[in-house]
Amino acid sequence: MALFPPVAFQTAEVYPFRWKQKNFTTEDTEKRRLYAISLCPSFLCGENEFPPTSIHYPFQTAFAFCASLGYYPSNYDLWFERPTVTTRTALIGAGNMARHHLPLMIETGADIRVICEPSADNCKMTLEKLAELGAPRPPNEPVLAELLEKYADELDAVFIVTPHNLHHDQAKSCLEAGLDVLLEKPMVMNAAEALSLMDCRARAGKHLVVAFQGGLSPQIQRAARLIASGELGELRTVTGMIWQGWKRNTQGKWRQKPDIAGGGFLFDSGAHMLNTVCALVGEDFESVAAWLDSRGTPVDIDGVVMGRLKSGALVTINGCGDCISGLHSEIYVNLTGGVIRTGIYGERLLLRREGEAAYSEVEGLPKMRGAWEQFTRVRAGQIANPSPPEVGLRMAKLWDAIVESASKNGQPVRTG
């Protein structure tokens, strides 16, 4: 089996973690069925097969121990399991997307103390989902102001999973109540709201993390560092594409109501594209031209955006929200010394340098399991906030420019 590449040692945490062999492909000896486990509460219960050599059992030490047994683990043979940290949480909004997040939340230590959901049906389905996951059934306080008055002192954080037009006021109220906030995408409806939230975050001194999978993913973070470092040369162009059967899937729902959603496909699923591009380039747009097509609905379904960054690099974004199933997103970043290829969720990271015949995957990066897990790591001080409101502001300014240009039939506009 192959040794870990050096990058794995750079990305491995030195806080307590557990790692174990995933696929046992040989039956040589029981030694190959080993656990390498840090000193953690489970060790005190006698679960481990050997004693650690230090309080924070370093990754290198664990690897060396395996090697001493004649076993050389590879990235594909191991998986990482981080210890859970209990987070006393309020779930603000209990619809389909909130239920999507619940399994990982419960697995990674979310203690959901209270729900804020005005829909009795949504609340019922969420309580049933919690019961399936073996979690307690918290009370529902449908008015956020009353929830914060009653429960703020018993909470550490909130996860806001509500329609877009509610994000600003709800996040502001929770920050002012002294709570850390994980906020579903898009962060806000416009740049003015983004600036307001940034000011509130600064005054409150609390964490505000926006739940964009792309910005939160180690793959996009690594790509952004590669671009910023100049290792691949000068940034020239960025091309992004997102296709989805969004129109039929959202028909009759709030996502096609402009006053609630703030936009259509390009501001909903397409917001992942906009935000990931903003996170990758690390700079503001200077000017933008855009065309949007509503396809007979109240909101945008298809869209094309062209823009120039402050550095002079050019960006094109194509979104189609009424297409066949099974299509995927793509982002290509062209630099003078190579090309980066990724997806809007950071689900992959491929790199092709000058002189290479094909793309190769950037190895040694963990796959992100979900926004909640990254949020808990930010709160624990294990990582810096990968998806801060500063990036949300950059995307909001871009969206404002898209809307203005589209209203003028694609006339270029300068961003604020």
Please indicate, yes or no, whether residues 92 and 219 belong to a single structural domain of this protein.
Answer: no
Please indicate, yes or no, whether residues 297 and 246 belong to a single structural domain of this protein.
Answer: yes
In a domain? residue 264:
yes
Distance CA 218, CA 377 (A): 13
Phi and psi for 219 in degrees, rounded to 5? -65, -45
pLDDT, residue 84, reads 61
Please indicate, yes or no, whether residues 171 and 227 belong to a single structural domain of this protein.
Answer: no
Using CA atoms, how far residue 127 sits from 41, 113, 122, 207, 298, in Å, is: 30, 12, 9, 27, 33
Instruction: Kindly state the average pLDDT of the residues 271-288.
Output: 97
In a domain? residue 205:
yes
pLDDT, residue 326, reads 82
Instruction: Kindly state the average pLDDT of the residues 111-116.
Output: 98
64-109 confidence digits (pLDDT tens): 444 444 443 433 233 344 546 799 999 999 999 999 999 999 999 9
Please indicate, yes or no, whether residues 47 and 182 belong to a single structural domain of this protein.
Answer: no
- The domain boundary, picked from 61, 81, 101, lies at 81
pTM of this prediction exceeds 0.85 = no
pLDDT, residue 291, reads 98
Residue 224 pLDDT exceeds 50: yes
Distance CA 53, CA 50 (A): 10
In a domain? residue 326:
yes
pLDDT, residue 327, reads 82
Split into its structural domains, the chain has a count of: 3
283-320 confidence digits (pLDDT tens): 999 999 999 999 999 999 999 999 999 999 999 999 99
Please indicate, yes or no, whether residues 192 and 219 belong to a single structural domain of this protein.
Answer: no
In a domain? residue 35:
yes
Please indicate, yes or no, whether residues 267 and 325 belong to a single structural domain of this protein.
Answer: yes
- The domain boundary, picked from 161, 196, 211, lies at 211
pLDDT, residue 6, reads 34
Distance CA 70, CA 159 (A): 46
Please indicate, yes or no, whether residues 40 and 165 belong to a single structural domain of this protein.
Answer: no
Please indicate, yes or no, whether residues 386 and 252 belong to a single structural domain of this protein.
Answer: yes
In a domain? residue 74:
yes
In a domain? residue 400:
yes
Please indicate, yes or no, whether residues 74 and 96 belong to a single structural domain of this protein.
Answer: no
Please indicate, yes or no, whether residues 393 and 263 belong to a single structural domain of this protein.
Answer: yes
- The domain boundary, picked from 157, 187, 211, lies at 211
Handedness of CA 142, 187, 386, 354 (dihedral sign): positive
pLDDT, residue 244, reads 93
366-402 confidence digits (pLDDT tens): 888 899 999 999 999 999 999 999 999 999 999 999 9
Residue 328 pLDDT exceeds 90: no
Please indicate, yes or no, whether residues 263 and 393 belong to a single structural domain of this protein.
Answer: yes
CATH number at residue 332: 3.30.360.10
Residue 2 pLDDT exceeds 50: no
Residue 258 pLDDT exceeds 90: yes
Please indicate, yes or no, whether residues 141 and 258 belong to a single structural domain of this protein.
Answer: no
In a domain? residue 402:
yes
Is the distance from CB of 195 to CB of 208 less than 8 angstroms? no
CATH number at residue 118: 3.40.50.720
In a domain? residue 1:
no
pLDDT, residue 283, reads 96
Residue-range definition of the domain harbouring residue 63: 6-81
Average pLDDT, the chain: 84
Residue 325 pLDDT exceeds 70: yes
What is the H or E stretch that residue 19 is in?
strand 18-21
**Which of the pair, 58 or 135, is modelled with greater confidence?**
135
